[in-house]
Amino acid sequence: MTASSDPTLPFLHLDTLWLQVTGTVCNIACRHCFISCGPKVRIHDLMTVDQCRAAIDAAAAHGCRAYAFTGGEPFLHPDILALVDLALARGPLDILSNGMLIDEPLAQALARRFREAPHGFDVRISLDGLSAEENDPVRGRGVFDATVQGIRNLVAAGMEPVVAVTTVHADHESAQGRQAFYELLRGLGVAHPRVKLIPPFRIGREARRSGGYGPLERLTAAMIDDDSPWVLQCGTSRMVTNRGAWPCPILVNDDGARMGDRLDDALRPCTLGSPACHTCHVEGFSCRT
Amino acid sequence: MSDLSAPAACVDLGQLPVGSTVALFGGIYNNHLALHATVADARRRGAAAVFFLGDTGGFGPHPDRSVEGLRSLPVHSIAGNYDHSIGSDAADCACGYTDPRDNHFAQISYDYTLANTAAEHKGWLAALPHSARFELGGQRVLLCHGSPRKQNEFLWHSTTPAAYIDVLCREQQADLVCCTHTGMHWERRLADGRGVVNVGAIGRPANDGRTCVWYALLHSTPAGLRAELVPLSYDHEGLAREMRDEGLPAEFVETIETGWWTTCLEILPPRERMAGRY
Ligand code: SF4
Ligand code: SF4
Ligand SMILES: [Fe+2]
């Protein structure tokens, strides 16, 4: 959904390549998921190892600095460790996960790569509350306990995840809210607690939950300046899925935002035509850790 | 893709023969004791020229002593983000922390540095070039603060892959890019010898549990430029005393005395963060 008045954003350099390795397939179906993922959702399907290799090689040829895996839930991918190795050979890697599938053997395999890879490796785990009572109404019954177990497994193996909190509970945005998450993590054995706060994007399933965007919540050319491509992540990153290339991980279900079949088609300015762009602008938000 | 609009200062080193050495350091953070110790050590080791890669203020005591040191010593200086902020009387250091605790401590050192830097020194900081170049042994060296494309961009070892180094060297037409800003020293070379050297910081230890600070020597050899990352002991107890006398936070003094970072940790990538105590 783009209009001719929508501003375009210059593309500076490919700092981050996002790969939606498991498409929109997730083991759970959170009520605030802005890409509406779930166990049977195949808007985007799993990427093959060859597709991932091609994208990572193309990105490296353009001097890419960092890689990030998302989904859906990346650890549903049957070849996830092979994909991790492909990325870590080229640069640092972040995996965005709900943590539920990280059992002891997987945690060991990830921690070994964290210690031995030539580049940095991070796992970012979503948690939207400090307790099952707070988290599970949004993310699903039993999710809190399974996520916490995943964190414990990682910590026991020697790898400390970042926790990503979508601020659906307003009090989590405050300094005390952040502190409470640090304490929760310390209690799980995390010696260097890290928390990333993420504003809710009112698209996908979250639009139904929170009411979506109003007509005035659009970006205009006047809101874009020289610094914008440094601040908005679509100035320095691109997303690939099994169906092609997109400006960012947020807009993969917006067919109007699709930039081409391959990464190389997408290394050009993009149009800021989604109301979600308004959230990026207002919050100064980036998916980077 | 650079916001460093001002042209690089070209420093003519003349015809330094193979076997010559130059010294590079960054991040004084008001540590005037380490500044004098570094320049003395570099000269003792035969450095024919000494370069400072920016960030004079922050963290430590008596800002004017470091600026006066820089202005009196034979050092070629470029600006860091802190120099840019102090030089233009900006409201903060523009480090962009998201954690309120990090912002709290960053603001304490910034306000202290701003209030204790003479107007004349601010003008000197504001006038510094943002990058510099020289040739040594036929190798082209680019000096910048954060990265060649942005003064406040962090180049960490674990997050700066070969593919990106190749782009930086090609765009800058440099064989070696030297930077600081992270406070941690490292080097990564491509198979063909080009690469990045982060010279570390002399203002505070490298989050490794040691009280020494780090700078770099570049030796011109027949096989190209060899970087040597140098640990330097200085009077850190004297610095800690001055910091206490100035009423600077105990958390900062702890870093000087133990070698572990205690604040502003959120900028660290996971590998660098996990290697530290906090
Ligand atoms: S928010 Fe994450 S964990 Fe939840 S359904 Fe979406 S992809 Fe899955
Ligand atoms: S949603 Fe954000 S990152 Fe994506 S195109 Fe819009 S402004 Fe860019
Ligand atoms: Fe800096």
How many percent of chain A have pLDDT more than 90? Answer: 75
Distance from CA of B146 to the nearest CA of A (A): 15
Rounded to the nearest angstrom, the distance between the alpha carbon of B55 and the centre of ligand 3 is: 5
CA of A211 to the centre of ligand 3 (A): 42
Q: How many CB atoms lie within 10 A of CB A155?
A: 18
Domains of chain B: 15-274 (3.60.21.10)
Q: Does A91 touch chain B (CB under 8 A)?
A: yes
Q: Is A230 on the interface with B (CB under 8 A)?
A: yes
Residues 6+ apart with CB under 8 A from A203: A34, A212, A213, A250, A253, A254, A274, A275, A276
Give the closest residue to B131 by CA, choosing from B172, B99, B169.
Answer: B172
Q: What structural domains does chain A harbor?
A: 8-283 (3.20.20.70)
Tell me which of A35, A218, A259, A272 to substitute to probe ligand 2's pocket, judged by most ligand atoms within 8 Å of the beta carbon. Answer: A272
Chain A CB contacts of B207 under 8 Å are: none
Whether the pLDDT of residue A150 is over 70: the answer is: yes
Separation of CA A166 and ligand 2 centre (Å): 17
- Residue-level pLDDT at B1: 39
Nearest ligand to the C-alpha of residue A287? 2
Residues with Cβ within 6 A of ligand 1? A 26, 28-30, 33, 37, 71-73, 98, 126
- Give the pLDDT confidence of A99-123 residue by residue, as tens digits: 999 999 999 999 999 999 999 999 9
Contact B196, B156 (CB under 8 A): no
Cβ–Cβ of A120/B159 closer than 8 Å?
yes
Neighbouring C-beta atoms of residue B274, cutoff 10 Å = 16
Residue A88 exposed, middle or buried by CB count within 10 Å (0-12, 13-18, 19+): buried
Low-confidence ranges of chain B (pLDDT < 70): 1-7
Per-residue pLDDT of B13-38, as tens digits, reads 777 788 999 999 999 999 999 999 99
Q: Do A120 and B269 touch (CB under 8 A)?
A: yes
Cα-to-centroid distance, A280 and ligand 2 (Å): 6
Q: Is the pLDDT of residue A143 over 70?
A: yes
Tell whether A63 is within 8 A of chain B (Cβ).
yes
In the 8-state DSSP scheme, what is residue A201? Answer: P
pLDDT at residue A166, as a whole number? 86
Q: State residue B6's pLDDT score.
A: 58
Cβ(A52)–Cβ(A3) under 8 Å? no
Eight-class DSSP state of A47:
P
| B240: three-class secondary structure by DSSP | helix
A:113-142 residues touching chain B, CB 8 A cutoff: 114, 118-122
Alpha carbon of B11: minimum distance to chain A alpha carbons (Å)? 29
- The 10s digit of each residue's pLDDT in B71-108 is 999 999 999 999 999 999 999 887 778 888 999 999 99
Q: Ligand 2 centroid vs A176 CA: distance in angstroms?
A: 29
**Cβ contact, residue pair B98, A91, below 8 Å:** no
What residues line ligand 2, using a CB cutoff of 6 Å? A 232-234, 247-248, 250-251, 270, 272, 274, 276-277, 280
Q: How confident is the model at residue A4 (pLDDT cuts 50, 70, 90)?
A: low
Which stretch of DSSP H or E encloses residue A34?
none
Alpha-carbon distances of B162 from A56, A62, A188, B192, rounded to whole Å: 14, 11, 36, 11
- The kind and range of the H/E element at A136 are helix A132-139
Pairing of strands B132-136, B195-199: unpaired
Report ipTM for this prediction.
0.92
- Under an 8 A CB cutoff, do B270 and A63 touch? no
Residues of A in contact with B168 (CB under 8 A): 63
Cα A222 to Cα A225, A274, A281, B72, B219: the distances in Å are: 8, 16, 12, 47, 51
Rounded to an integer, the average pLDDT of A266-274 is 94
* Separation CA B153–CA B149 (nearest Å): 8
Which residue in the set A60, A92, A194 is minimally distant from B158, CB to CB? A92
pLDDT of residue A282: 82
**Pair of tokens at residue B126:** 């504001």
Query: What is the C-alpha to C-alpha distance for residues A147 and A101, in angstroms, rounded to an integer?
Result: 8
Give the pLDDT mean for A158-169.
Answer: 90
pLDDT at A288: 66
Beta strands across the sheet bearing B9-10 = B9-10, B132-136, B139-143, B176-179, B195-199, B185-189
CB B4 within 8 A of CB B144: yes
The bound ligand whose nearest atom lies closest to the alpha carbon of B56 is: 3
Q: Which of B3, B164, B278 to mutate to test the interface with A (most CBs of A within 10 A)?
A: B164
State the average pLDDT for chain A.
92
Judge: A120–B160 Cβ closer than 8 Å, yes or no.
Answer: no
Q: How far is the CA of A22 from the centre of ligand 1 (A)?
A: 11
pLDDT at B94: 76
Residue A162 near chain B (CB below 8 Å): yes
How close does chain B come to A120, measured CA to CA in Å? 5
A119: nearest CA in chain B?
Answer: B158
